[in-house]
Amino acid sequence: MELAQDSAAVEATDGQNATAPANPDSAQPSQEEEMPTASSTALQFLQSIGGEDYKYLLFRDDLVTTSDTGRELGEFSVSVEQTIRNGENCFLVHANSHGAIDNVPCGTSITAHVSERLETLEQHHHEYVKLENCPLDRKTVLIKQADNFVVNRVITQGEDVQKSTQSFPVDKMAGFISEGSNLLLHRLMIQKGIPQNFQLLSFDSDSHVCQATYKKLEDRTQVVDGVELKVWGIERTIHSKSDLPTTWQSYFTSDGFLSSRVQVGSPVTMRLARIPQPIVRDEEPTKPIFSKKPLNWEEDLQLFSKFLDRKEELKCDHSSYMRNHPELKALMADFMQFLLLRKPKDVIAFAADYFASFSSAMPTPPSYMSSAVPTPFPQSRASDRMNDLRKN
């Protein structure tokens, strides 16, 4: 099911499986066969994806297909755009690969509707190899229903037409990634990074559910149109239960543009021919910095006018309060007179003691409090005189 015109064409031109169509009954899943599962790391990655992650991933890839000798064989393109399907916001992924290998026209096209969590809502996958005596045409339609994924396949080889239908329960397909969603997943991985132990579910060439593992490749440089670019790689391996594992290696620029793609063991490579236009990312506006300036309010006519108005307002308010409380003048006059007479060193303590007597919270002293104060002398003078007279 992987989008690879090279493998389909090489198999057809080598004569392998070119005249023996696949048995549709062999693709039916066994009721007793245990379904593979995706890793928890991969499921967490899918759950973490949000709408903002796709902001800079809606663009088009254009590559050329070349042989191991450098001869151009065809073209490969991938486009991603937002759309609405049955009232649901999703992404339309369209991939197309066509060319000729050993003068045999071949190609693959994928049109898929994918949700934000990379769930495949619908996918149409078409592969063809136009052999002169026995052309091969394979069409696969994947549709997600309420409880099942339904896969309809029509394989036409010469005049022989075979049809098959398979159904997979949705609750058993957690972490399933189709070929359309896989193209979008690669862009997300370049942007968000590739976790360790990343294992999802996919279909092999016979529509059997199998494990698909992803791992990061070492960074390298690639020359595109005479310019050396640093690219990041992802390796995807489909572990088919009925055949050998199939591995693809894809490299991307820092913006997520596909720079090269090859199936391991195939002589056909897809390469970027021209440097794509860089994606313009929205930058957060820089917050303005205002330098602190001295406030000369006396020179500011508006501030100075407000100052004069406030000054007159306070004067009027204070004068009104003084008129309404004539006892205030008498109280202050007594305090000033008493202060100038005593001339204390600690004016604050003297004022606190003076005004404390006017407070209602202070306890009322006894009437003869002054006479109750103990004398600093142990005996009075009168008693001393009487003692002297007794001695004489």
Residue 15 has pLDDT above 60, yes or no: no
pLDDT, tens digit (0-9, with 9 covering 90-100), for 87-125: 889 999 999 999 988 888 999 999 999 999 999 999 999
What is the predicted pLDDT for the residue at 24? 43
pLDDT, tens digit (0-9, with 9 covering 90-100), for 288-305: 777 777 778 788 888 888
Q: Binning pLDDT at 50, 70 and 90, where does residue 238 land?
A: very high
**345 three-class SS:** coil
Residues 6+ apart with CB under 8 A from 116: 49, 50, 51, 54, 89, 90, 91
Beta bridge partners of 147: none
Residue 20 has pLDDT above 80, yes or no: no
What is the predicted pLDDT for the residue at 382? 47
Q: What is the CA radius of gyration of the chain?
A: 46
Residue with tokens 């860089």: 278
Rounded-to-integer distance, Cα 151 and Cα 29, Å: 12
Handedness of CA 377, 378, 383, 386 (dihedral sign): negative
Residue 156 has pLDDT above 90, yes or no: yes
b/e code 217-236 from CB counts within 10 Å (16+ = b): eeeeebebeeeebebbbbeb
Q: What is the mean pLDDT of residues 307-325?
A: 90
What is the predicted pLDDT for the residue at 374? 56
Q: What is the average pLDDT value for the chain, to the nearest integer?
A: 84
Length of the chain: 392
Phi/psi at 351 (nearest 5 deg)?
A: -65, -40
Q: Which helix (H) or strand (E) holds 124?
A: strand 120-129
What is the predicted pLDDT for the residue at 7? 46
Q: What is the mean pLDDT of residues 307-331?
A: 89
Rounded-to-integer distance, Cα 12 and Cα 6, Å: 10
- Contact between 179 and 125 (Cβ < 8 Å): yes
Beta bridge partners of 100: 105
Helix spans in 235-342 (H): 301-324, 327-342
Distances (CA, A) of 93 to 81, 96, 164, 196, 315: 7, 10, 25, 26, 78
Residue 63 has pLDDT above 90, yes or no: yes
* pTM of the shown model: 0.66
Nearest to 35 by CA among 160, 176, 172: 172
DSSP structure string for 140-153: EEEEE-SSEEEEEE
